């Protein structure tokens, strides 16, 4: 059995109980057992029992906590690697930084060498620009893509010329709006993928894209990517958050 060290045991027990004893959630489906007063599906949908609300609050809140802490823990891990790099603490057991990275990235649950180098470099840039540790964790843990853009923005372009105010703002906005905000500060347009269709026979991916400018104007564009198979197309659409069409080319 794996040794789970960071999740409360009672939370794991609740998940295990839910999976092993699904009958305890019958009240969430139709027909609801033991409730003779509900004569129709419509009436069922209107009446939400307290037990359903309690269970939703329990599992939903925990899911959100895990999602948030996952990012924060990864960011905190990178900050510790940054300290090891910045102050050459790797000299305690290694002759050079490269050997340390090689061993660390080969350990179980480790991140890739690319992610480690990129993360340490990004943190170094943020710290040099005056970002606090708390904001570094928030940016890299909750809005990492916006953070990668923010890293390259001159402080003079940020609201009030303050990187910590900018960091706090994008953390509150969330991933999608945070990217748009950073692009606004730099005067860059924001590109949003609206839909995509993959032609398997021709190995082409057709994209519908909206470009939103800082002044509020926008336009729609059609793009085509050639020599892309189904697996690569699906990966691309997933990374860009684009909804694929079920249309089939014949």
For the chain, give every domain's residue range: 74-186, 190-240
Q: What string of pLDDT tens digits covers the 250 residues of the chain?
A: 456 777 888 888 888 888 888 877 776 554 545 555 545 555 555 566 777 788 888 888 888 888 888 888 899 999 999 999 999 999 999 999 999 999 999 987 778 899 899 999 999 999 999 999 999 999 999 999 999 999 999 999 998 899 999 999 999 998 888 988 998 888 877 778 888 999 989 999 999 988 877 677 888 999 999 999 999 998 888 877 786 654 444 4
Beta bridge partners of 221: 209
Q: Which residue in this structure is represented by tokens 């079920």?
A: 246
Q: Which residue in this structure is represented by tokens 């699904």?
A: 22
In whole angstroms, give the CA distance from residue 4 to residue 11: 12
Quick one: tokens of 51? 């037990």
Q: What is the pLDDT of residue 1?
A: 44
- Write down the pTM of the prediction: 0.66
Q: Which among 145, 172, 141, 138 is positioned nearest to 71, based on CA atoms? A: 141
Quick one: tokens of 124? 């170094």
C-alpha distances out from residue 100 to 66, 95, 115, 123, Å: 29, 8, 14, 19
Q: Read off the DSSP letter of residue 30.
A: S
Q: Which residue in this structure is represented by tokens 């198979």?
A: 229
Q: What is the pLDDT of residue 131?
A: 95
In whole angstroms, give the CA distance from residue 150 to residue 153: 5
**Cβ atoms within 10 Å of 138's Cβ, excluding its own:** 22
Cβ within 8 Å of residue 200, ≥6 positions away = 229, 230, 249
In whole angstroms, give the CA distance from residue 181 to residue 31: 47
Does residue 156 sit in helix, strand or coil?
helix
């Amino acid at each position: 059995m794996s040794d789970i060290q960071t999740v409360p045991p009672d939370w794991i027990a609740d998940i295990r109980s839910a999976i092993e004893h699904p009958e305890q959630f019958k009240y969430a489906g139709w027909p609801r057992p033991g409730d003779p007063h509900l004569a129709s599906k419509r009436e069922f949908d209107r009446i939400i029992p307290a037990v359903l609300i309690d269970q939703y609050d329990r599992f939903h809140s925990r899911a959100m906590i895990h999602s948030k802490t996952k990012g924060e823990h990864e960011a905190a891990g990178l900050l510790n690697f940054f300290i090891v790099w910045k102050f050459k603490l790797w000299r305690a057991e290694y002759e050079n930084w490269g050997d340390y990275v090689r061993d660390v990235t080969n350990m179980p649950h480790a991140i890739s060498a690319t992610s480690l180098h990129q993360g340490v470099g990004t943190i170094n840039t943020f710290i040099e620009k005056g970002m606090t540790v708390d904001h570094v964790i928030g940016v890299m843990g909750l809005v990492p893509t916006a953070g990668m853009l923010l890293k390259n923005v001159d402080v003079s372009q940020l609201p009030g010329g303050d990187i910590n105010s900018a960091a706090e703002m994008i953390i509150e906005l969330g991933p999608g709006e945070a990217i748009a905000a950073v692009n606004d500060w730099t005067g860059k347009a924001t590109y949003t993928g609206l839909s995509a269709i993959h032609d398997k026979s021709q190995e082409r991916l057709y994209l519908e894209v909206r470009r939103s400018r800082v002044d509020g104007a926008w336009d729609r564009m059609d793009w085509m990517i050639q020599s892309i198979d189904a697996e690569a197309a699906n990966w691309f659409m997933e990374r860009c958050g684009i909804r694929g069409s079920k249309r089939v080319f014949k």
